[in-house]
A = this chain, B = another copy of it.
Amino acid sequence: MADVNGLGVVTTHQVELFTPERPLTMAGGANLAFVTVAYETYGELNAAKDNAVIVCHALTGDAHAAGWHDGDKHPGWWNTLIGPGKAIDTNRWFVISPNLLGGCQGTTGPSSVNPATGHVYGLDFPLLQVRDFVTVHRALLEHLGISRLHAAVGGSLGGMQVLQWALDFPDQLDQAVIIAASAGLTAQNIAFSAVGREAIMLDENFLGGRFAEQGRNPDIGLAVARMMAHITYLSEDAFTEKFGRAPQGEASDPGFGVDFAVESYLRHQGETFVSRFDALTYLYLSRVMDYFDPFGGDAAPPPLSLWGPKFLVISFDSDWRFATEHSLRIVEQLAARGAGVSFRQIHSPWGHDSFLLDVPEYLATIRAFVEEPAKVSAARALRPDLRRIAAQVPRGSRVLDLGCGEGELLRHLMTRQGCVVTGVERDGAAMLEAIKAGVPVLGLDLDTQLDEFADGSFDFVILSRTLQAVMQPAEVLRQMSRIGNHLIVSMPNFAYWPHRLRLLSGDMPRSSDLPYRWYDTPNLHYATLASLEALFDSLGLVTQKRFALSPSGHIIGAGANWRASSAIYLLASRRLAGA
């Protein structure tokens, strides 16, 4: 195989992090006297020791995330992401990849021999929590002499670990990247895992977990569990694309064997899995996921400090193992704790496994986030209408900008006016620019997803030149007045007199503010200033200021409904305005 990522041959290290003298105290209360951890590293730790990035693997991963192993030459599972010049660039970052506690690839787990007894732990191994992974990996950092991480990055179960780390030790991370993860499995998620565990534990060779001592292995149960889980890792379209209804090999008598290519693939998945993975680890790590619920129950974590990590949450639109709703819940909960969060749903046909694959938009998003924010030239001037909007926002305000584009306004409010900002933007290229500029930006739909924001969670909600492009303008305004104390709305004026002249000529209006043809416009609703103001009134919104603007951005006094090409409104709900 080609050395596709340029890291070449890498080595897995092992280190004993906990000993009888310094045992691991687990979140559930048990102690483990012996804990060895397998890990790999890529790139070089710099002298300041501030370029470390930890990557956290998923249910069946291991320490070998990148590069190649000598001997069997098998490639790391995250070579798409990690390497020289990759999204996590090992020319710049020192990447650490450990195998999880409970694992079966060099780190202590339930199939390890307990040195105290000389026997395999089996089901006597204590039940794990995601917190235990964090404890062990913090000990690994200590061993490596690293006190603070530039970033923690993880997919699926790995993303859960990153989330737990950020919640418990927010000052230890600059950035937390949580991909295709969940902060609370659904009943369906648990159901799939439960059936897999049933298959393993009902296997005649499971023997109550003591199979290793008898030289046996619950291969059938483990293979069935893996085959079933594997169905959930791919999207239905991915299965169709890969296999369709193709028969397996030569035509033969139909029966109950491997007739279809997809059956051959699944059987292969099951067979190879039992040769590399341990049934007890499967039970333990899948159960950790079932119980993970950091935002549930009574023991809600304390608010994150504003100096805690910046978050990037990523989902994939075809992922049905942990669909986008799981990521949105994480975003909501983090935002409610005051964290700066960017979120993007990536289009990918491959389902949950997308986080392991070469999906360019996904990798570009991580790259944009993990890199330091670009230094924005101090001289860069804001557009006149945005300058006018910024002037309405007091220093230190919490600001939500709906349709924030590349985040120019928010970057300005953040750096010049000390505001705590969040943008909403659906255009991918614009989002990447906003993320590069260090602006937290959420890829949400204005028509359907404003419910994500809590009541009164912002001082100002801004909607600039966007109202005419949404499906339900009244509903968007209603949501804005629910979310924010003040609203700033700007909109082109459909009654601007050149529009009228054109309509009088029998054709549909077009101008520099309304440049589209009637049948391909993204602008779905037109309003004159008068009809817009009537809508504000019907929603209980009081106009506190109005700036009617000429096309060059100058204020227009009298005759605005006729002469302004656009207008900016500062609004407050009648209740708050005291009207």
Contacts and interface: CB of A to CB of B under 8 A. Distances in A.
B187 A244 contact: yes
Nearest to A255: B127
Interface string A337-350: 00000000000000
A201 B254 CA distance: 16
Contact of A503 (B245, B256, B320, B495): B495
A494 interface: yes
Contact of A195 (B224, B234, B504, B519): B224
A283 B296 contact: no
A535 B519 CA distance: 8
Given A186-B236, A474-B519, A562 B266 contact: no
Contacts of A287: 254, 256
Interface residues of A, number: 77
A228 interface: yes
Contact of A188 (B239, B293, B561): B239
Given A191-B231, A262-B190, A199 B224 contact: yes
Interface string A185-215: 1111011101101110110100000000000
A525 to B, nearest CB: 6
26 contacts: A127-B254, A127-B255, A186-B236, A186-B245, A187-B240, A187-B242, A188-B236, A190-B245, A190-B260, A191-B263, A199-B199, A202-B224, A256-B287, A259-B290, A260-B290, A472-B519, A474-B520, A494-B508, A506-B530, A506-B562, A508-B528, A517-B531, A518-B527, A519-B525, A519-B535, A521-B525
Interface of A: 123, 127, 184-188, 190-192, 194-195, 197-199, 201-202, 204, 220, 223-224, 227-228, 231, 234, 236, 239-240, 242-245, 254-256, 259-263, 266-267, 270, 283, 287, 290-291, 293, 296, 320, 323, 472-474, 494-495, 500, 503-504, 506-508, 517-521, 524-528, 530-531, 535, 561-562
